[in-house]
Amino acid sequence: MTNLIDKLNDKTALIGIIGLGYVGLPLANAFIRSGFRVLGFDTDPAKVEKLARGESYIKHLESATIADWIQQEQFEATCEMSRLSEPDVLLICVPTPLTDTRDPDLRYVASTTAQIAKVLRPGQLVVLESTTYPTTTRDVLLPILDQSELECGKDYFLAYSPEREDPGNAQFSADRIPKVVGGIDDASLKAAVSLYEQAIVEVVPVSSTEVAEACKILENTYRAVNIALVNELKMLYDRMGIDVWEVIEAAKTKPFGFQAFYPGPGLGGHCIPIDPFYLSWLAKKQGLSTRFIELAGEINSGMPEYVIQRLSEFLNERGKPIKGSKICLLGVAYKKDVDDPRESPSFVLLEKLLERGAELTYHDPHVPVLPSMRKHNLPEMTSRELTPEFLSKQDAVLIATDHAAVDYPNVVQHAPLVIDTRNVTQGISPVNDNIRRC
């Protein structure tokens, strides 16, 4: 281990990152900025080719940055998993989705770990960063890596450190977010802490990989439960004629005991819609039920249907059904000002509107072409320009993502009906009573 620690301290260690997506690329940026060389692995040849040309496919990481990596010979991307023996450190940043029955799907983690085991060499540190349930590192990764006949804690090292990316938030880049780290053993923890101390603002060691894994689940379950609470209150307050947004703003003035969460058309992103189900699945294995968490998941999962119901009511006020109505969905990314569509509720909204016979279009300044999504069967679509002529021909414009680049006064000025799920039209004067919030 001494040799690895020395190489980390003098920054001669080669950092390998497996999975060059919304987690892996910003992580590469953090290590490159601190003076390391990075070898990136991805199974998508198109991504590898773009990176080799110095092109970014993630909005908040500029192409000029990647081009500079290449020019300075600090970064290389490859699809060749046989090269996994080259890096001194391997950071696993692959997807961890749910199955159709909402069980954890660890096939990408397991297959990646099996590829590492084939070429694992003494002195390497392996760290899982993908979000998962407690015990994954010890019960899934460790047995696979041990098939290499190398001994963990002596020949190689294994740790877990959950990713904490906040896409689109310049205040919290990957290197500015404290890193929780848990090791399989003391030697592995020491190696992982030494790694992240070189590139991250603060490292928070914990006693085990299970604690680090549970920490990530707690963070996102906390958000999911609180968002479910305000989503449920939104439905109640809508029926009572009370503006939930005004209620939240008033509650925010309390200087203690309250943190603001906001309602919306559903949960998006890789973590918050998925992580609580990891925990409920794990609880069932322990013979327990997590009723609170499951209820929150039920409420959040039901929000797209609620939005469609309210849209139908607003159209009915004008003598129109959803079937045959021209409806433009504003925003398909899962959050404001990013190009990340993962688990976006907009895809559920699009499917439900198509099922009901709507003549559907969309606009998203960050997603020019509707991406193919594994769970959704949608036609090919491209983002439409929000011209006065286009807007005036719509029966309704449904705001699902509150991108700052959208000219909302222009939308309100020209669209006959605007349904706002994000409160972004607050303060804009309606035209002929054409704004509805839900």
Residue 418 has a pLDDT of 98
- Same domain flag for 180 and 327: no
Residue 176 has a pLDDT of 86
Selecting among 93, 152, 215, 271, the annotated active-site residue is 271
Of 192, 207, 222, the residue that ends a domain is 207
Q: What is the CATH number of the domain that holds 10?
A: 3.40.50.720
Of 181, 207, 233, the residue that ends a domain is 207
What are the DSSP calls for 156-201, one per residue?
BEEEE------TT-GGG-GGGS-EEEEESSHHHHHHHHHHHHTTSS
β-pairing, 89-92 with 125-128? parallel
Task: Please indicate, yes or no, if residue 142 is contained in any of the structural domains.
Answer: yes
Task: Please indicate, yes or no, if residue 71 is contained in any of the structural domains.
Answer: yes
The domain tally of the chain equals 2
- Give the angle subtended at the CA of 180 by the CAs of 117 and 206, to the nearest 5°: 90
- Same domain flag for 318 and 196: no
Task: Please indicate, yes or no, if residue 274 is contained in any of the structural domains.
Answer: no
| 3-class secondary-structure state, position 75 | strand
Mean pLDDT per 10-residue run, the chain (438 residues)? 89 97 92 97 95 90 93 96 97 87 87 97 97 94 96 97 79 84 98 96 97 92 92 95 96 96 83 72 83 87 95 96 98 91 90 96 95 82 97 98 96 97 96 94
Task: Clarify whether 79 is annotated catalytic.
Answer: no
H or E stretch including 127? strand 125-128
Of 191, 207, 223, the residue that ends a domain is 207
- Same domain flag for 42 and 185: yes
- Same domain flag for 314 and 417: yes
- Same domain flag for 194 and 307: no
Sign of CA dihedral 302, 351, 326, 316: negative
Q: Residue 139: which domain range?
A: 2-207
- Same domain flag for 34 and 145: yes
Task: Please indicate, yes or no, if residue 291 is contained in any of the structural domains.
Answer: no
Task: Please indicate, yes or no, if residue 41 is contained in any of the structural domains.
Answer: yes
- Same domain flag for 48 and 170: yes
Task: Please indicate, yes or no, if residue 279 is contained in any of the structural domains.
Answer: no
H or E stretch including 90? strand 89-92
Task: Please indicate, yes or no, if residue 135 is contained in any of the structural domains.
Answer: yes
Task: Please indicate, yes or no, if residue 20 is contained in any of the structural domains.
Answer: yes
Closest CA to 158 of 370, 1, 361, 348: 1
- Same domain flag for 179 and 306: no
| 3-class secondary-structure state, position 412 | helix
Closest CA to 156 of 203, 88, 103, 57: 88
- Same domain flag for 430 and 318: yes
State pTM to two decimals.
0.89
Residue 290 has a pLDDT of 84
Residue 386 has a pLDDT of 97
CB 32 within 8 A of CB 38: yes
